[in-house]
A = this chain, B = another copy of it.
Amino acid sequence: MPRTTDTRKRLLDATAELFRRQGYTGTGLKQIVGHGAAPWGSLYHFFPGGKEQLAAEAIERSGRRYQRLLQMVLAGADPPSGIRDFFRLSAQALEASGYADGCPIATVALETANRTDTLRQACANVFQSWLATIIVALTDWGVQPAQAGQLATHALATYEGATLLSRTLRTTSPLTASGELTAQAVAAAPRQPPANT
């Protein structure tokens, strides 16, 4: 069973990358197998559920990967700084990629929100996992759970929207501006003294 080649993963990675830039309907299966260097027959071997199953797993996968990135950045500093860093990092990556690599699932999320419930749910799960990650960072820092939920939602929403604007306007200013303001909002949150540690 280590005999399983990495074809399946290559397929998922190619799918995730193309979805990030072109969305769900804009990406054809032909393009995926072409980009991911996988043969046609393999696709329906690994994903008998077709495009939808492939998409669901790709979403899940890139969601986890992005979550790890988020955790890393948040672990590097206190939440306000971490959030600011995350926005800044995203701005850099976005610009470096020619404004192509934004949130890996935002486009798919919007496209599928009212089409296929399976994919909508997959995107929802990803967003929930990101929110949970932020909430943990905030509560660890002393923010009250009730407040932390709202703040995390706000931060994520702002990040998504700022990325959207940055991609469309082709300028990083929305990401930097919103990063700063979101960091301030977090910094202003009432919190009980973080014990000590």
On A, residues with C-beta under 8 Å from B are 21-26, 98-100, 102, 106-107, 109-111, 113-115, 120, 123-124, 127-128, 150-151, 153-154, 156-165, 167-170, 173-174, 177-178, 180-181, 184-185
The answer on a CB contact under 8 Å between B157 and A162 is yes
The answer on a CB contact under 8 Å between A168 and B127 is yes
Interface on chain A toward B: helix, strand, loop, or mixed SS? helix
Residue ID in chain B nearest A23 by CB atoms: B111
A6 to chain B, nearest CB (A): 23
The answer on a CB contact under 8 Å between B165 and A178 is no
- Give which listed residue, B22, B26, B177, contacts A153 with CB less than 8 A: B177
- Give which listed residue, B153, B160, B178, contacts A173 with CB less than 8 A: B153
